[in-house]
Structure 1
Amino acid sequence: MTTRRQWIHGSVALAAALAAGSPGLALAQAKLKVAAVYTVPFEQQWVGRIHKALKAAEARGEIEYKATENVANADYERVMREYAQAGNQLILGEVFGVEKAARQVAKDFPKTAFLMGSSLKPQAPNFSVFDNYIQEPAYLSGMIAGGMTKSNKIGMVGGFPIPEVNRLMNAFMAGAREVNPKVEFSVTFINSWFDPPKAKEAAFAMIDKGADIMYAERFGVSDAAKERGKLAIGNVIDTQAQYPDTVVASALWNMEPSVDRAIKLVKEGKFTAEDYGPYSMMKHKGSELAPLGTFEKKVPADLVAKVKAREADIRAGKFTVKVDDGQPKASFK
């Protein structure tokens, strides 16, 4: 018994010593504590993709996940601090309206990893940024829109004219022009991240002026297209199931590559300040063009062939979709 007891005690002591000498090992053996702070509801498409990736990691048993939605900008810093003080090792969110406050929290908690949606650069040592660099599938969806419009007029409703929105709109417009040089665009920003009624009214106005395809950067646009019997192109998420006769295609954002990378690096004790933007691109499986689904037989075969050829060129590195963060300009009002 003495020998067996000594062996057990020795094993426990060895494990403790290894854990103490290797923080990465200790973290790998326990679930990572992860929190997220969102200024909009989980159902909002942009935040919804982050939430989906984190819920998947939670379902795999890799993390303990807590999140707060609908946080006002004035409360954002407080909620971030509370999560950091509670011992969360990785904190995510979108800080476009609270950059200064969020970065100060990161400075005050240098041992906590932060991965935040931001237009600005990373901040050493622990504040990484990400962005929805899904301009490649946005370009492809634009090709579909350009080939499907009969009036040659496309309406576009966005949230705010910031780089994250502008680059997708500009890529979409470039794709449409590739297959249809005659196409014109109407562009409106509703100055809100989540106001479906306002987006819907803006879409109605464009349809009244001749637009027969709507670029639905915001919720509410597809509802207007559906009610008027027009078509829509989705953004970030695929809503064709909800609008089977309206949404032709969508540029999808997959946040899993970025989230999984951050979790892995924190567990290994290797998380540093970096730009995760590239992990939203197609080569990292961070974005894709949604299947045509209900429109598979409605989109002309020659147009599908052009889109597939361009997609193959993008994946092979033979074609680069330009990143244009400038505010898109309307060609008809």
Structure 2
Amino acid sequence: MRPYELKVAGLYPEAQQLAISDTIHNSAIKSAIRGDIKYDFYRGVPEREFETILREISEQDYDLIIGSIFNHEDLARAVALDFRSQSYLFGSYRPTPEFLTSFSIFENYTHDASYLAGIIASGLSETKVLGVFGTLYSLNSYRNLNAFTQGAKEVNSQINILVELIDGAIDPAIMAEKLEFQKAFGVDLIYAERVGVEKYSTENEILTIGNIHNHAKQYPDLMVSSTLWHFQPTLNVALNRLRNNDFKTENLRQYSGLKHGGCSLASLGSFINRVPPDVIEKAARRINEIKNENYEVATVELLPVTELGQ
């Protein structure tokens, strides 16, 4: 065993968003392939068995337990109280109490990429009417949609943006109605920030920018790009702190930002030829400015609303 190899366990409840779990899991696999960690994982864990399995894993000799606990916020922290020497790194929207000293959290804090998507979408749209689909009651989704709007309006202050927020599971019939309405209003490009919407928007032959994963291979003629989340920088920070005996309770969400390589905008492929050169140049300039800390995308967690140009 290499001297710096750490033992990591991944715990992924069945009800968690598959795209988020896949991103965490795939990053851990890459670390294991490099020889940085020894990785065991538990996927599709039934909700009723979450506590039992988390306790069983915590009793074993793992250096770090990773995953997401969006449906088990209190329960996971209650288990951690009984295993205070165990280090945890979980996707979570809640701050961790100070008395839990080894319970770090993260979010897919990717609004930098959403901002860039707004720039591209505004430049690509011919009707100057964009649609966005997010998740109701999700501050992460609100951040992304507001950043998308910020980017779009920097290119065209009169751009129209129609906002749809989904509460709960996606209903195909309701989705069809919403897309029909947006098409009737003139929407010619949709930001499917809510994962799963891209399936329906592309079926309706609407240009789409996806989220978290790159869907270009599935929908090559209609998927303009995707806002990608990269968990590897967050995981690397956690592993380095474990090696240095410096792991502690903190929110590592900043490592999902563009500056740290935690998010990006997927290649535009052939669509790059349809975006005005000055818009491409603006996006490239903003990427460099964000990476060099010369520009910061606004973090706005207010409810996004439909905006109609004058």
Same fold (TM over 0.5): yes
Q: Is the 8 A contact 2:16 2:68 kept in 1?
A: no
When residues 222 and 204 of structure 1 are mapped into structure 2, their CA distance, relative to the original with a 3 A threshold, is farther
1:94 to 47, 60, 68: 68
* Residue 214 (1) aligns with residue 183 (2): no
* Residue 302 (1) aligns with residue 278 (2): yes
Any idea what the Cα deviations from partners look like across 1:44-68, whole Å, max 9, x if unmatched?
Answer: 3222211111110111222222223
Query: Which position in structure 1 is the counterpart of 2:299?
Result: 323
* Residue 76 (1) aligns with residue 76 (2): no
Equivalenced residues, count: 305
Matches within 5 A, 1:188-203: 188-192=164-168, 195=170, 197=172, 200-201=175-176, 202-203=178-179
1:35 to 3, 9, 17: 9
Q: Is the 8 A contact 2:195 2:210 kept in 1?
A: no
Unaligned stretches of 5+ in structure 1?
Answer: 1-26
Q: Is the 8 A contact 2:5 2:38 kept in 1?
A: yes
Give the drift of 1:224: 2.4
1:52 to 3, 6, 26: 26
Q: Is the 8 A contact 2:16 2:70 kept in 1?
A: no
Q: Which amino acid aligns with 1:67?
A: F
Q: Is the 8 A contact 1:157 1:199 kept in 2?
A: no
1:282 to 253, 258, 268: 258
When residues 69 and 204 of structure 1 are mapped into structure 2, their CA distance, relative to the original with a 3 A threshold, is farther
Counterpart CA distance in 2 for 1:196 and 1:262 is 38
When residues 279 and 219 of structure 1 are mapped into structure 2, their CA distance, relative to the original with a 3 A threshold, is closer
Matched residue SS, 2:164: strand
Counterpart CA distance in 1 for 2:172 and 2:14 is 16
1:164 to 103, 121, 140: 140
TM-score using structure 2 length: 0.89
Unaligned stretches of 5+ in structure 2?
Answer: none
Any idea what the Cα deviations from partners look like across 1:272-309, whole Å, max 9, x if unmatched?
Answer: 11111111112211112222122122222121112112
2:38 to 64, 67, 72: 64
Any idea what the Cα deviations from partners look like across 1:242-277, whole Å, max 9, x if unmatched?
Answer: 221112122221110111221222233321111111
When residues 76 and 196 of structure 1 are mapped into structure 2, their CA distance, relative to the original with a 3 A threshold, is farther
Query: Which position in structure 1 is the counterpart of 2:226?
Result: 250
1:113 to 67, 70, 87: 87
Q: Is the 8 A contact 1:40 1:47 kept in 2?
A: no
When residues 283 and 231 of structure 1 are mapped into structure 2, their CA distance, relative to the original with a 3 A threshold, is same
Which of these two proteins has the greater Rg computed from alpha carbons? Answer: 1
* Residue 311 (1) aligns with residue 263 (2): no
Give the drift of 1:328: 1.0
Counterpart CA distance in 1 for 2:301 and 2:21 is 21
Any idea what the Cα deviations from partners look like across 1:187-239, whole Å, max 9, x if unmatched?
Answer: 223334x6484785344543344321111123332222322222111222221
Any idea what the Cα deviations from partners look like across 1:39-89, whole Å, max 9, x if unmatched?
Answer: 347983222211111110111222222223334544332221121123332
CA-based RMSD of the aligned residues comes to 2.4
Q: Which amino acid aligns with 1:59?
A: I
When residues 208 and 223 of structure 1 are mapped into structure 2, their CA distance, relative to the original with a 3 A threshold, is farther
Query: Which position in structure 1 is the counterpart of 2:129?
Result: 153
Counterpart CA distance in 2 for 1:173 and 1:94 is 28
When residues 61 and 313 of structure 1 are mapped into structure 2, their CA distance, relative to the original with a 3 A threshold, is closer
Q: Give me the identity figure in percent.
A: 32
Matched residue SS, 1:106: helix
1:232 to 202, 208, 212: 208
Counterpart CA distance in 2 for 1:75 and 1:184 is 46
Q: Which has the larger helix fraction?
A: 1
